[in-house]
Amino acid sequence: MQKGRTLVLSVDRDDDLGFKAQIECPVIGREACLSAANSLGLADPEDSDLNAIFQAVQIYDELQGKGEDVEIAIVTGNHMHMIEGDRKIASSLEKVVMETGSSSCIVVTDGAEDEFVIPIVQSKIAVSSIRRVVVNQIPNLEGTYYIIKKLLNDPKVARLFLAPLGLAMMLWAVAYLMNRPQIATIVVVGGIGIYLLYRGLGIDELFEGFVNALRTSLRRAKFSFVTYVAGVLLVIIGVVMGLMNVLVYYAEVGILIYLLIFVFGAVLWLALAGVVSSVGIIIDSYFYDRQNLAKVVVFPFFIGAIGLITYGASIYAITASNIPEFPYTAENALQYILIGTVGGLICAFAGIGIQYLVQKYLASRRTAELPDAA
């Protein structure tokens, strides 16, 4: 017989329990899990997580019938935000392990998506077995149509598939309204490509993180809310200035030169947006989280350094391409790239120096507070 208590763990990564049945998790104990399953079944009898919970209860009963020391629990994530959900699963599982005193667990899931959290579970408790519950379906045309309909009603699936389809149709219509049907295909493919890069490179998660930070700073009345808003406005100005530069210096050149012209017009505004936003973070850290002040104080210096170097490099590259009416000559461009590089390095070294002084200051404060604490 296995030593130690075994935890039968049902994982609901997309939090159907909370989203559909308003059940607070973690749920611990056989009766509590059955009650949660009944609530979910009444809210959505066709949810596959329902089968996973009953499978977990069955495993719990089998092991208990064999005389093993066993406990059962359900942990859930977040219905819309996978990163926040995985963090919630980690903290909930830590609480479950502490309350039950389990030394190993059997993970029960309803599909491959939930099994992505296995490494998270393994970081908190040893996994001795994994059981996936597969619901039998009749593979006919009506059943396939119903499954597709259910998927499209899911907000996550709708955002992933319906959004790019709607974007493509909208761009196609706009191209025809502008009497430019010949560019419709280019516009549609370009729009979908931008969307796929937005999702594929994780920019959507960065954007969600920024929105969450903005919401948190507003709710807690932090100064960074003001600088975040100012940073957003500066980013908009930078994008507009970059696009205007592309129109002003338009020529028959490659897409790389267009990108460099856009960077030339936008980079200083974008760098200023980053500096302004990071100043708000530094001020908040000084007042509310001084221990992390040394980590964030270097942000504006590094952002400024990247902006200066990029600005000089873009000028040099554009002049080398002989763009008509560009305001810089080859001689000026060489000066600008040297000034930008040297200025960026000085800015970066200044940030490192200030970070060192801040670390030294915080260390001296901690040392001074030790006798008082004693």
Neighbouring CB atoms inside 10 A of 355's CB total: 19
Residues 207 and 174 in one domain: no
* 350 falls within a domain: yes
* 372 falls within a domain: no
- Which residue bears the tokens 């604490």? 373
Nearest CA to 122 out of 110, 109, 107 is that of 107
What is the number of structural domains in the chain?
3
Residues 160 and 284 in one domain: no
Residues 213 and 359 in one domain: yes
* 90 falls within a domain: yes
Give helix 299-320 / helix 330-373 axis angle, nearest 10°. 170
* 48 falls within a domain: yes
Q: Across-strand partners of 12?
A: 76
Residues 266 and 306 in one domain: yes
Domain boundary among 201, 228, 260: 201
* 147 falls within a domain: no
From CA 93, how far away is CA 76, in angstroms rounded?
A: 9
Residues 253 and 337 in one domain: yes
Residues 194 and 79 in one domain: no
Q: What is the pLDDT along the chain (374 residues), one digit of tens a residue?
A: 446 889 999 988 888 888 888 888 889 999 999 999 999 889 888 777 888 899 999 999 999 999 899 999 999 888 777 788 888 889 999 999 999 889 899 999 876 566 678 888 888 899 888 888 766 554 454 455 456 666 666 666 666 677 777 777 777 787 777 777 766 677 677 677 777 777 676 666 767 777 777 777 777 777 888 888 898 899 899 988 888 887 777 666 667 777 888 888 899 999 999 999 899 889 988 888 778 888 889 999 999 999 999 999 888 888 877 777 777 777 788 888 899 999 999 999 999 999 999 888 888 877 776 655 44
* 145 falls within a domain: no
From CA 267, how far away is CA 242, in angstroms rounded?
A: 8
From CA 111, how far away is CA 42, in angstroms rounded?
A: 21
From CA 277, how far away is CA 280, in angstroms rounded?
A: 5
- Which residue bears the tokens 């890069």? 197
Residues 168 and 102 in one domain: no
Neighbouring CB atoms inside 10 A of 159's CB total: 13
Residues 124 and 11 in one domain: yes
Residues 260 and 219 in one domain: yes
Residues 298 and 313 in one domain: yes
From CA 272, how far away is CA 351, in angstroms rounded?
A: 16
**Structural domain span for residue 93:** 5-132
Residues 193 and 287 in one domain: no
* 28 falls within a domain: yes
* SS3 of residue 80 by DSSP: coil
* 302 falls within a domain: yes
E strands, the chain, in order: 5-12, 27-28, 70-76, 102-109, 126-132
* SS3 of residue 254 by DSSP: coil
Residues 167 and 210 in one domain: no
Judge contact between 74 and 33, C-beta under 8 A.
Answer: yes
